[in-house]
Amino acid sequence: MPRPKFLFQCQGCGYTAAKWLGRCPDCGSWGSFVEERITKKTKITETATPVTLSEITHSREGRYSTGIEEFDRSLGGGVVPGSLVLIGGDPGIGKSTLLLQALKGLTKHGKVLYVSAEESPQQIKLRADRLMIESADIILLPETTLQGIISQVQDIEPKAIVIDSIQTIFSIELPSAPGSVGQIRECTTELMFFAKKHGIPIFIIGHVTKEGAIAGPRVLEHIVDTVLYFEGDKGGSFRIIRAVKNRFGSTNEIGVFEMTDSGLRGVTNPSQLFLSERPMKVAGSVVTASLEGTRPLLVEIQALVSPSSLGVPRRVALGVDYNRVNLLIAVIDKRIGMHLGSMDVFVNVVGGLRIDEPAVDMAIIAATASSFKNKAVEPATFVFGEVGLSGELRAISQAGLRVKEAQKLGFKRGVIPISNTDNLKEYDIEIIGVKDAEEALEILFF
């Protein structure tokens, strides 16, 4: 009998080596190498037939609606048959709750299957009772082996499948433990082939690491069609689902939810919800207009500037890029003349949102200056614009959509880049175009 061959594989990125290494040369993680058996490659049993592009008939696959408008939005307009969707998020954020609610909406197309490798059917039933979900078309399958799952799916023939979670199922053909790089890659690949062959959409739940990335090899995100991240503060009521990869739609769309006693409820007007508890005439609070995909969002930027008791002042940024905040503080110090070198500066996006676009630069500067001067910005005023290192205000995209959203919520004045003021006369709102951050602050505080 031939002796089995082994290699060492990094559990973080999938890098392989002939011997054990303390540090992965690819991703840099320490102590991540685990011994894996080399599996024999199977022979090809059937091959596809090549066709020319002109021979392919154009047929648009109909999408399934989950009955949750915000979830459909993040998927690009609904569930595509045969798609493989990966959903990641912190433990307890609501991934299982969301997908159980989505399966309820998909039952109008036929039977659906919920595969649980972590919870018992009794636990899922308790959650379904809390969500007031009762349907004979939702089938529960407590199974951990990939082969057992595929066998049951072939018998049940469901219209949609949920796998909870990809880190806990395993293939009996591999000797490695569940959750290893080899198991995750093999199981995901087999599920992808099965989904494409039978036209069944499959949702797989993925655990995340302490850094917020989905646990397992990076190849996992390359295999699937769509990658969604479920974000939010577990102590808060808001949840945001964000697409970071989508072969069937935009990667910039988000869905906003509110966690209630009866489950997740889609928020159709998130701007109003995020500003509902905004304090009026308080220094350090500014409203800005952000854009997530095609959806404009009005959000509150808060800043707090206070004398530091430390040798090195603190800089804390929640919901915005930390390095971006440091850059804007340098602009405030150098170009505007507000010296923050001995001050602690805290910046926060209210509601647990994460904003990556530079359009909120001017709002961060305005909120910081407001706290530093202890002067409040008028509650009916909003601010947006990208700020350069020279302090100039640069134009941003879709200014009209942002102004329209602000007008809808009753704002009376907007301070924006002067290069964005064209074609905004149709809105019944005062638009003030400025060239740089210093001019904007003069308008806001004087």
Angle at CA of residue 54, ends 53 and 55, nearest 5°:
90
- Between 44 and 52, name the one with better pLDDT: 52
Residue 355 confidence (pLDDT) above 70: yes
Instruction: Report angle CA 91, 94, 95 to the nearest 5 degrees.
Output: 85
Of 88, 98, 113, 93, residue with least CA distance to 66: 98
| pLDDT for res 1 | 41
Q: What is the pLDDT of residues 367-408, one digit of tens each?
A: 999 999 999 999 999 999 999 999 999 999 999 999 999 999
pLDDT band at 42 (very low <50, low <70, confident <90, very high): low
Q: Residue 445 class from Cβ within 10 Å (0-12 exposed, 13-18 middle, 19+ buried)?
A: middle
Q: How far is the CA of 75 from the CAs of 89, 201, 215, in angstroms? A: 16, 12, 22
- pLDDT class for 46, splitting at 50, 70, 90? low
Check: CB of residue 226 under 8 Å from CB of residue 75: yes
pLDDT at residue number 217: 61
Burial of 219 (0-12, 13-18, 19+ CB in 10 A): middle
Q: Using alpha carbons, select from 438, 443, 437, 416 the residue that is nearest to residue 427.
A: 416
Query: Quick check: 3 pLDDT over 60?
Result: no
Has residue 293 got a pLDDT over 90?
Answer: no
Give me the percent of the chain exceeding a pLDDT of 90: 58
**Has residue 265 got a pLDDT over 70?**
yes
Q: Kindly report the three-state secondary structure assignment for every residue of the chain.
A: CCCCCEEEEECCCCCEECCCCCECCCCCCECCEEEEECCCCCCCCCCCCCCCHHHCCCCCCCCECCCCHHHHHHCCCCECCCCEEEEEECCCCCHHHHHHHHHHHHHHHCCEEEEECCCCHHHHHHHHHHCCCCCCCEEEECCCEHHHHHHHHHHHCCCEEEEECCCCCECCCCCCCCCCHHHHHHHHHHHHHHHHHHCCCEEEEECECCCCCECCCCHHHHHCCEEEEEECCCCCCEEEEEEEEECCCCCCCEEEEEEECCEEEECCCHHHHHCCCCCCCCCCEEEEEEEECCEEEEEEEEEEEEECCCCCCCEEEECCCHHHHHHHHHHHHHHHCCCCCCEEEEEEECCCCCCCCHHHHHHHHHHHHHHHHCCCCCCCEEECCEECCCCEEECCCCHHHHHHHHHHCCCCEEEEEHHHCCCCCCCCCEEEEECEHHHHHHHHHC
Q: What are phi and psi of 317, to 5 degrees?
A: -130, 120
pLDDT of residue 15: 81
- The pLDDT value recorded for residue 58 is 55
Tell me how far apart the alpha carbons of residues 403 and 432 are, in angstroms, rounded to a whole number. Answer: 12
185 residue type, one letter = R
Q: Which residues pair with 139 in a beta bridge?
A: 113
Beta bridge partners of 23: 30
Average pLDDT of every residue of the chain:
88
32, two tokens: 């991540």
With beta carbons less than 8 A apart as the criterion, state whether 263 and 131 touch.
yes
pLDDT for position 157? 93
Out of 57-71, 109-123, 217-231, 399-413, least confident range: 57-71
C-alpha span between 241 and 257 (Å, rounded):
8
Residue 47 has pLDDT above 70, yes or no: no
Q: pLDDT of 21-41, one tens digit each? A: 888 888 888 887 877 766 655
Q: What are phi and psi of 355, to 5 degrees?
A: -115, 125
Nearest-angstrom CA–CA distance, 96 and 90: 11
pLDDT tens for 398-416 read 999 999 999 999 999 999 9
Type of residue at 106: L
What's residue 290's pLDDT? 93
Q: Mind listing the pLDDT tens digit for each residue in 125-150?
A: 999 999 999 888 999 999 999 999 99
Could you tell me the pLDDT band of residue 44, with boundaries at 50, 70 and 90?
very low
Give the β-pairing of 285-292 and 315-318.
unpaired
Tokens of 412: 């009376």
pLDDT score, position 18: 85
**Buried b / exposed e across 220-238, counting CB within 10 Å, b at 16+?**
bbeebbbbbbbbbeeeeeb
